[in-house]
Amino acid sequence: MIGIVIVSHSAKLAAGVQELATQMVQGEVKIAVAAGIDDPENPFGTDPIQVHQAIESVYSDDGVIVLMDLGSAVLSAEMALEFLSEEQQNKVKLCEAPLVEGTIAAVVQAANGADIEQVLTEARGALAAKVAQLGTPPISSPSVHRGGHKEGAKEIYLTVKNRMGLHARPAAKFVATAGKFKCEITVRNVSANSDAVNAKSINQLVTLAVCRGDEIAIAASGSDADEALAALQQLVETNFGESLKDSPIPPLFPTPTPPLSRSSLSAIPASPGIAIGRVFLYQQTLAEIEDIQVDNPQTEWQKLHAAIATAHREIEMLRQNAATEAGEQEAAIFDAHLLCLEDPTVLEAARQRIFEYGLAGTTAWKVVIDKTARTYEALADPFLQARSADVRDVGQRVLRLLTGVAAAPLNLPEPAILVANDLSPSETAQLDKTKVLGICTVSGSANSHSGILARSLGIPAVMGVSEELLHLENGTLIVLDGETGEVWVQPDEAQLSELQAKRDSRLAAQIAFKEVAQKPAITSDKREIKVMANIGSIADAKVAVNAGAEGVGLLRSEFLYFHRHTPPSEEEQLQIYEAIASTISPHPLIIRTLDIGGDKPISYLHSALETNPFLGWRGIRFSLDYPDLLKIQLRAILRTTHQHKIKVMFPMVASITEIRAAKKILATAQAELRQAGILFDETMAVGIMIEVPAAVICADKLAAEVDFFSIGTNDLSQYVMASDRTNPKVANLADAFAPAVLRSIAQTVQIAHNAGIWVGVCGELASHSNAVPILVGLGVDELSVNAAAIPAIKTAISQLTMAQAEAIATAVLQLDSAAAVREYLEIQIMKPKV
């Protein structure tokens, strides 16, 4: 690609032009600056050596365009050419176009892949539009789009509904999605009347302080604006993959609880559990940075880029480990870390301090990171304040790489309680759960990512303790209670005995709970109900097995198609399916074919923004319009059946015609594999999702075509109740506890059993322990739930008899509202004691 060099007397002017040009093409074109001279008293001027270095930094065989302001800038550029080889000189063109307009025109044309002559022509004609406009009679000033969005941009308004708003993890997903598109994208917080910010900047986005219930406006202008808006809309409307249910979070300022003794210290509870052990003091190693200036900014910039690249690889490895240990949702914390490294505003600020002020890379990086962290700390929202720790964590990682200062090892010689001033998310994610009995820090909060990771790892933790704990000697006996926030230093025998009893009681309850989860789910009168897991990755499969899943009732295969530019190949899919099947072996795996379109668009498959996406081109409708895409997926699934227990099911089926068309493509895939001599299970079970009223009404006809039904209560609820579950004004109507939805389930189960096929429920209703008696009483054969819900669901099943369940199911079908159903269940059900 063509490289661009800006030569100017003023470093600030050149930097401004460079920034404007970079924003126009989102960094796709290499742009170098040669501006100003190294004379503090008279910094204006140009230097041929500097111009030569700038040309070399962006040089490629495609050529380089050099734009200049005036006077000596032209002379310096001409002189710089003399330092180049003859071959290089032939590929470097000096352009007489005006600096600002010419640079913008040149980079835009270069970003489109034009050759050097086309770029030169475009740059030289850059003033044509302005001349034409000013040569006509005066016109009124163009209006400015309110909120700072670019005039003429396409704009959508959405409500953010996930519990903590645009905190780091959803913000990371937002920026990653925006970054896939070439168009210019901005976002503003309508509820806070904020200005628009760059949607591809993680730090700018988070500082909008978007909270739950806030309305945001996303605007896009460019060739792929429609696709970008559709993708971002899908991301927001699916709540960034997070549950809308309020999970318990330790209070920011917990109500003080009466201590067991006067010697206990108060802190912030961050992760539940009682830890008893000896102190292990940990002191973070921070890179010491001196405020120094350098003579070779290009070298400093290259060093910083190398350190950032290494940090990126380290964080990716850390993310993989965190996904295995703490789960995919918690590992997503490090997506925000990765995006912080790539944040264009952070990188540009560091670059300016290196090239304009002559700061060392270490100094420039530290200044920018500190400033960014302070921006978070100044926000009113405690959740966003806590994100400053993530910024500093990323910053320290890069600084250690730049200075060669290694992080202090966190290797405990024996099990102990870790006492520290603070722990970064990176440090917390690497803790050895077998050695760290508990965590006790002076800084931090329950909302910090360190606190979140501690909870996911199951390590009791308190934060905000007195600094006097940092002066304890290693080996001092302490006790902490992560639920109450209390800490005891050297408790006496009576206190220790009481705390041990309390700890042992909790551990016994947890063990009993886990033991139930690892056993089959059997009612008191010996009816077995299969409890499976809903998953969306290999990491999810591992979590599900550990939680007691008896297989996978729903693998959302679309995860293979997201975050890429082309569909996954047959071999890629085969490897993933085999890895998941091996992880849950010998249990079965049900793979749902690609369920995208409408509310889950994929730009490279040309799925466009729709007015009513939930009533649109999605599920099986989409796949049948891409028969080759579906056949490739079915071939990969069939090949997996040779060594594993695999079933396949098709989503969003509403008619006999659709399932027969899908089965025809399946038959074609089977025929191809037979002809190629590739083994597969000829008897692989085929099922469909029951998600639309049409499928319920025609269940008898559909049952004759398949081996099983799986009821998706999330979609079924919104279609039965005619309420878009992404629309906050009517979302409450899309309630799976509504009698109309429950009657649809009852009708489906009865018809399926009459036809001799089994029925599962894989929607969110199956993960509600209160719904268990209804579903079991209606005759559902299998429940597929979120992995975290498995122990509670199995416990609820074990406390039922079929007679009790059937009586409850019969009763709720006669009630008149979802609220009445819930009230009835609260009265009837004895909740599990855990």
Catalytic residue positions, numbered: 449, 762
Q: What is the spatial distance between Cα 78 and Cα 72, in angstroms, rounded to a whole number?
A: 10
Q: First-to-last CA distance in the chain?
A: 63
Q: What is the spatial distance between Cα 200 and Cα 179, in angstroms, rounded to a whole number?
A: 6
Burial of residue 375 (number of CB atoms within 10 Å: 0-12, 13-18, 19+): middle
Main-chain phi, psi angles of 441, to 5 degrees = -125, 150
Burial of residue 253 (number of CB atoms within 10 Å: 0-12, 13-18, 19+): exposed
Give the SS3 label for residue 156.
strand
* Structure-block tokens of residue 374: 């302070």
* Residue indicated by tokens 């965190």: 322
Give the SS3 label for residue 771.
helix
DSSP H or E run through 4: strand 3-8
The reply to whether omega before 586 is within 30° of 0 (cis) is yes
Burial string for 458-476 (b: 16+ CB within 10 Å, else e) reads ebbbbbbbeeebbebeeeb
Q: What is the spatial distance between Cα 58 and Cα 63, in angstroms, rounded to a whole number?
A: 9
Longest pairwise C-alpha distance within the chain? 95
751, 700 contact by CB (below 8 A): yes
DSSP labels, 257-315: ---SSTTEEE-EEEE-SEEEEEEEEE----------B-S-HHHHHHHHHHHHHHHHHHH
Residue 255: CA atoms inside 13 Å, Cβ hemisphere, count? 1
Q: Who contacts 121 (Cβ-Cβ below 8 Å, separation ≥6)?
A: none
Q: Who contacts 447 (Cβ-Cβ below 8 Å, separation ≥6)?
A: 249, 252, 382, 383, 385, 386
Lateral strand order in the sheet of 197-198 = 154-159, 215-221, 184-189, 197-198
Main-chain phi, psi angles of 649, to 5 degrees = -140, 150
Q: How far is CA 740 from CA 722, 764, 810, 812, 816, in A?
A: 11, 17, 13, 10, 9
Looking at residue 414, its amino acid is E
